[in-house]
Amino acid sequence: MNQSGVPQEKILEELSEKLNKDLTYESGKILGSMCTIPHDLARKLMTIYLEKNLGDPGLFKGTQEIEIETIKMLGSLLNNPKSWGYIVSGGTEGNIVAMRIARNIGRTKIRGGTPEIIIPTSAHISFDKAADLLGIRLVRVNLDREYRVKPSEVKKAITDKTIAIVGIAGTTSLGTIDPIEELSEIALEKNLYLHIDAAFGGMVIPFLERLGYKLPKFDFRNQGVCSITIDPHKMGLAPIPAGGILFKDRTYILENCFEIPYLAGGTYAHPIILGTRSGAAVIATWATLKHLGIEGYTRIVKNCMEVTHQLEKGIQQIKNVELATKPVMNIVGITSKKLDICQIDQELRKLRWALGKFENLLRIVVMPHVKPQHIQQFLADLEQITKKSK
Ligand code: 0PR
């Protein structure tokens, strides 16, 4: 820090220079992100209510009620009005919190040894973090040709140390949806905890269903599903930080809360990781969900799918690159049998296109900031690059 402080105008000048290096969503160049420009209403509310702290909800009872209402809205979207949960810092925290609850419930059943959870090989890195933090062993199960976990392999992977199964509704790399109905059957039969990571898909699939897409039931309609991660700060147009973790009902958390007795607002017991946390993000999420409603989100998802189909068709017309799989939501994987995908990515980056890069594919997430003209330009650049590559 400097001794005498710097005038505000100078700070703003310096900032604008520094932040010039950032890519912007408006430029259309950000094709590999699951985040986007938050809704205007959310932006406004974030600044107005910046000081609200849900780490001490007794001081902010109104904000706490708003969190409960937000969870109710997400719960009804996931077909369970009895859901109980929290707006958390993101999908990572949601998954870690769910794995902790699963471990605490499961470890009484396995009588010693390292608890195991079965995850698809497509699972997000947050499960590695959870396993490391919680002393859990991950058992990874392979995918079928459409990049969905194989229920028969899940069944085979179950041991007397298994405490939970994870299914994904909207995988990080390709947006595919695991056969959750079958996973639910297995979980019920074997009396195992089933967590669904719908961090991305949770704010997409319900609207695709309304648009007539035939997709597997991924939510609490399956009796075996115990918890779901669903992030408003991805396709929900909420500001960061706004993840969501929902449990089937309150009983899952009752025995698994940390109690903080000394708070100014009174005792608070909760099972999440953060202490001080943003009330403004919760208020902004509540407002965005309420304002857009089912119809608003359905429209947004419909637009994203139209752009997704434009991209899908465009890729099919470019020689030497292929779709990794037919997109099930607004995530598209590009692979190549002939060309080096890393090299293509490097060339795209020179033109400032920012895609996600996985082992053997490039990922595009067609978020609301990605418009038809951006895709048109991207496809033209990709075609040029593939012509030059060997
Ligand atoms: N579960 C799934 C299925 C995810 O895809 C992600 C994030 C998470 C959980 C964790 O969510 P948080 O990042 O909110 O903790 N997936 C993106 C990814 O890793 C996150 C992301 C977002 C990456 C924006 C880049 C980016 O620009 O690809």
Residues 200, 250 share a domain: yes
**pTM of the predicted model as reported, rounded to 2 decimal places:** 0.98
Tell whether 187 is covered by a domain. Answer: yes
Residue 184 alpha carbon to ligand 1 centre in Å:
24
Any alpha helices (H) in 22-159, and if so which ranges?
Answer: 40-48, 61-77, 91-110, 126-134, 151-157
Q: Would you say 63 and 223 are in contact if contact means Cβ atoms under 8 Å apart?
A: no
Residues 202, 191 share a domain: yes
Whether residue 241 has a cis bond before it, omega within 30° of 0: yes
Q: Is the CB of 63 under 6 A from ligand 1?
A: no
Residue 53 has pLDDT above 80, yes or no: yes
- Mean pLDDT of all residues in 304-315: 98
pLDDT confidence of residue 59:
98
Percent of the chain past pLDDT 90, that is, above it, reads 97
Last residue of a domain, one of 290, 323, 355: 290
pLDDT confidence of residue 111:
87
Tell whether 1 is covered by a domain. Answer: no
Rg of the chain on CA atoms, in Å: 22
- Mean pLDDT of all residues in 110-126: 96
- Mean pLDDT of all residues in 314-328: 97
Give residues with Cβ within 8 angstroms of 309, minimum separation 6.
none
Q: Specify the residue with its C-alpha closest to ligand 1, atom 21.
A: 34
Last residue of a domain, one of 270, 290, 310: 290
pLDDT confidence of residue 197:
99
pLDDT confidence of residue 40:
98
Question: How many other CB atoms are found less than 10 A from the CB of residue 44?
Answer: 13
Kindly write down the DSSP assignment for every residue of 124-188, as one continuous string. -THHHHHHHHHT-EEEEE-B-TTS-B-HHHHHHH--TTEEEEEEEBS-TTT--B--HHHHHHHHH
Residues 73-89 have pLDDT tens digits of 999 999 999 999 999 99
Question: How far apart (Å, rounded) are the C-alpha atoms in residues 123 and 4?
Answer: 49
Number of structural domains (the chain) is 2
Residues 209-239 have pLDDT tens digits of 999 999 999 999 999 999 999 999 999 999 9
Q: Specify the residue with its C-alpha closest to ligand 1, atom 11.
A: 91
Atom of ligand 1 nearest to the CA of 93: 15
* Cα-based distances in Å from 212 to 205, 245, 299, 302, 304: 11, 27, 13, 11, 15
Residues 185, 252 share a domain: yes
Q: Would you say 58 and 265 are in contact if contact means Cβ atoms under 8 Å apart?
A: yes
Last residue of a domain, one of 240, 262, 290: 290
Q: Specify the residue with its C-alpha closest to ligand 1, atom 1.
A: 199
Confidence of residue 2 (pLDDT cuts 50, 70, 90): confident
pLDDT confidence of residue 389:
80
Residue 281 has pLDDT above 70, yes or no: yes
Residues 384, 358 share a domain: yes
Residue 108 has pLDDT above 70, yes or no: yes
Residues 316, 274 share a domain: no
The tokens of 334 are what?
């590009």
Tell whether 3 is covered by a domain. Answer: no
Rounded to the nearest integer, the mean pLDDT of the chain is 97
Confidence of residue 101 (pLDDT cuts 50, 70, 90): very high
Residues 321, 259 share a domain: no
Q: Is the CB of 122 under 6 A from ligand 1?
A: no
Residues 285, 311 share a domain: no
Tell whether 117 is covered by a domain. Answer: yes
Residues 323, 216 share a domain: no
Q: Is the CB of 327 under 6 A from ligand 1?
A: no
- Mean pLDDT of all residues in 263-279: 98
Residue 171 alpha carbon to ligand 1 centre in Å:
10
pLDDT confidence of residue 221:
98
| Cα 303–Cα 307–Cα 310 angle in degrees, nearest 5 | 145
Look at residue 278 and give its three-state secondary structure.
Answer: strand
Residues 164, 286 share a domain: yes
- Mean pLDDT of all residues in 319-336: 97
Residue 390 has pLDDT above 70, yes or no: no
Tell whether 2 is covered by a domain. Answer: no
DSSP state of 60: -
Domain that holds residue 359: 8-38+294-388
Task: Return the CATH number at 260.
Answer: 3.40.640.10
Residues 235, 145 share a domain: yes
- Mean pLDDT of all residues in 119-130: 98
Residues 186, 87 share a domain: yes
Kindly write down the DSSP assignment for every residue of 183-228, as one continuous string. HHHHHHHHT-EEEEE-TTGGGTHHHHHHTT------STTSTTEEEE
Residues 286, 176 share a domain: yes
pLDDT confidence of residue 190:
98
Bridge partners (DSSP) of residue 362 are 334, 357
